[in-house]
C-alpha cells in the first residue's frame, strides 16, 4: 500500500537548535515508530485499550508491584491531578519557592485544584526537613490552610538533584507530621541518570506517595502520567483525572509513548545523553572569563550569570531564556538530541560575544 499523500509542508529548519528548553526538541524516532505501531484498527477508548493495560506492567517494573499509572496530557495536568488526589479542600502543599507548581503553572494548582501553596525559599531549589518546618505548623488552626503534602521536584527547577537519602529524610519527616509526599518528576529520568540508580531508589523505595512522571522532556511527543505509589493515601484518581480535563479518549497514543521510553532503556539513554551535553556545556562555559555558573550542574540544565548585553546578542544566535533578567541570570537546557557540535558552536559564540 502506498503511503497517503499529504499537503503538509515543513515550516521550520530542522538544523536550527537552541538551549531554551528540552521541550523544544522533537519526538525521538523510536517514540514516533511506537505511535505508528499503535495506529490502525480500533481500540477501546479512555484507557481500556491494550497499550494502557501493558503500560501498567512496565510501570510496575520501575516503581513496584502496587504502582498504578494514570496517563495524562501534560505535566501541569499531572501535578494538578496528583495534588488534588492527596489533599482536602482545606489542604495546603509545602514546596520550594522556585518549584514549577509555584512559578511556572499559571496558578493552576490554586485556580484549578483550589490548593494553597506554602512556599519556602531555598538556596539550591532543594527542600530539607528544617526548611519544611518553616511552613509545617498550624494543623489545628482553622484560620490557616492545613499543610497536608510536601511536594518536591526531582530534579529541581535549578537543575539540582536530591540523593535518595535526602528524599528519605524528607519523607520520614513529612510522614511524621501526618503529611504525604508528592514528587514532580518532569525530569525524573535525568535525575536517575545523574545518580546512576533506578528510579525506584528515590521514589517508592523511600516512601514517596504519589509521582508525576514526565515523558515529554525526555523524547515523547506529548504525555505524562500520575503514578500512584501509596493507594491508601490517594482518593478518586479516575474521577479527578476526568474532572481536570486530563482523560484522553485515544489514550493508547499516550500510553504507547511511555511504554516506548520505559520498556527498555530509551528513557535512560536519552537522559544520559542530555546530562552529558550539559556537562560538556558547563566545561566549555567555565573556560570563558566573566561567566559564572550559579548552581551545580547535576542534570541537563546550566544556570549562568553574564552581562545582559552579551545575553541579548547571544539570543539572536541561539534561543535561550533569562532566568532572572535583572541579575543577568540565564538558563541553558540540553535535550536528548543536543549534539556535541551544538554545544561547541554555542560555547564558541559565547566566547565571541564576551570578547566584543
pLDDT tens column, 22-48: 999 999 999 999 999 999 999 999 999
The string of pLDDT tens digits covering residues 313-344 is: 999 999 999 999 999 999 999 999 999 999 99
Q: For residue 2, is pLDDT > 90?
A: no
Q: For residue 3, is pLDDT > 80?
A: no
Kindly report the pTM of this predicted structure: 0.96
Question: What's the pLDDT at 7?
Answer: 80
User: Is-cis flag, bond preceding 155, omega within 30?
Assistant: yes
What's the rounded Cα separation, in Å, for the pair 305 and 325?
Answer: 10
pLDDT band (50, 70, 90) for residue 237: very high
Cβ contact 352:310 at 8 Å: no
How many CA atoms lie less than 13 Å away from 4 in the CB half-sphere? 3
Burial of 321 (0-12, 13-18, 19+ CB in 10 A): middle
Average pLDDT over residues 266-278: 98
Query: What is residue 222's DSSP assignment?
Result: S
The string of pLDDT tens digits covering residues 186-233 is: 999 999 999 999 999 999 999 999 999 999 999 999 999 999 999 999
The string of pLDDT tens digits covering residues 83-119 is: 999 999 999 999 999 999 999 999 999 999 999 999 9
Mean pLDDT of the chain: 96
Query: Dihedral angle at the C-alpha atoms of 79, 278, 297, 118, nearest 10 degrees?
Result: -20
pLDDT band (50, 70, 90) for residue 172: very high
**Domains (range + CATH), the chain:** 29-262 (3.40.640.10), 266-355 (3.90.1150.10)
pLDDT band (50, 70, 90) for residue 15: confident
pLDDT band (50, 70, 90) for residue 1: low
The string of pLDDT tens digits covering residues 46-78 is: 999 999 999 999 999 999 999 999 999 999 999
Average pLDDT over residues 264-280: 98
Q: For residue 352, is pLDDT > 90?
A: yes
Question: What is the bridge-based pairing of β-strands 292-293 and 301-305?
Answer: antiparallel
Other Cβ atoms within 10 Å of 21 Cβ, number:
16
Q: For residue 82, is pLDDT > 80?
A: yes
Amino acid at each position: 500500500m502506498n503511503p497517503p499523500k499529504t499537503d503538509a509542508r515543513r515550516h521550520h529548519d530542522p538544523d536550527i537548535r537552541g538551549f531554551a528548553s528540552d521541550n523544544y526538541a522533537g519526538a525521538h524516532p523510536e517514540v514516533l515508530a511506537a505511535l505508528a505501531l499503535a495506529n490502525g484498527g480500533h481500540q477501546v477508548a479512555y484507557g481500556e485499550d491494550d497499550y494502557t493495560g501493558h503500560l501498567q506492567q512496565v510501570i510496575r517494573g520501575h516503581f513496584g508491584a502496587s504502582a498504578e499509572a494514570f496517563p495524562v496530557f501534560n505535566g501541569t495536568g499531572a501535578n494538578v491531578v496528583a495534588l488534588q488526589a492527596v489533599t482536602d479542600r482545606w489542604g495546603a502543599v509545602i514546596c520550594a519557592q522556585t518549584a514549577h507548581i509555584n512559578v511556572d503553572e499559571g496558578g493552576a494548582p490554586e485556580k484549578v485544584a483550589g490548593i494553597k501553596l506554602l512556599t519556602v525559599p531555598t538556596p539550591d531549589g532543594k527542600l530539607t526537613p528544617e526548611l519544611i518546618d518553616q511552613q509545617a505548623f498550624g494543623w489545628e488552626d482553622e484560620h490557616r490552610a492545613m499543610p497536608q503534602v510536601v511536594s518536591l521536584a526531582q530534579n529541581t527547577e535549578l537543575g539540582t538533584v536530591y540523593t535518595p537519602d535526602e528524599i528519605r529524610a524528607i519523607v520520614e519527616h513529612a510522614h511524621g507530621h501526618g503529611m504525604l509526599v508528592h514528587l514532580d518528576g518532569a525530569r525524573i529520568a535525568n535525575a536517575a541518570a545523574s545518580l546512576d540508580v533506578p528510579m525506584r531508589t528515590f521514589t517508592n523505595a523511600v516512601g514517596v506517595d504519589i509521582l508525576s512522571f514526565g515523558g515529554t522532556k525526555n523524547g515523547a511527543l506529548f504525555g505524562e502520567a500520575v503514578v500512584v505509589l501509596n493507594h491508601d493515601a490517594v482518593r478518586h484518581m479516575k474521577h479527578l483525572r476526568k474532572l481536570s480535563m486530563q482523560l484522553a479518549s485515544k489514550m493508547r497514543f499516550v500510553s504507547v509513548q511511555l511504554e516506548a521510553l520505559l520498556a527498555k532503556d530509551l528513557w535512560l539513554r536519552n537522559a544520559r545523553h542530555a546530562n552529558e551535553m550539559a556537562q560538556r556545556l558547563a566545561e566549555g562555559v567555565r573556560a570563558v572569563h566573566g561567566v559564572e555558573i550559579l548552581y551545580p550542574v547535576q542534570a541537563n540544565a546550566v544556570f549562568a550569570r553574564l552581562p545582559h548585553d552579551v545575553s541579548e546578542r547571544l539570543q539572536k544566535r541561539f534561543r535561550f531564556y533569562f532566568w532572572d533578567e535583572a541579575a543577568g541570570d540565564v538558563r541553558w537546557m540540553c535535550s536528548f538530541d543536543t549534539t556535541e557540535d551544538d554545544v561547541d558552536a554555542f560555547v564558541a559564540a559565547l566566547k565571541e560575544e564576551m570578547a566584543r
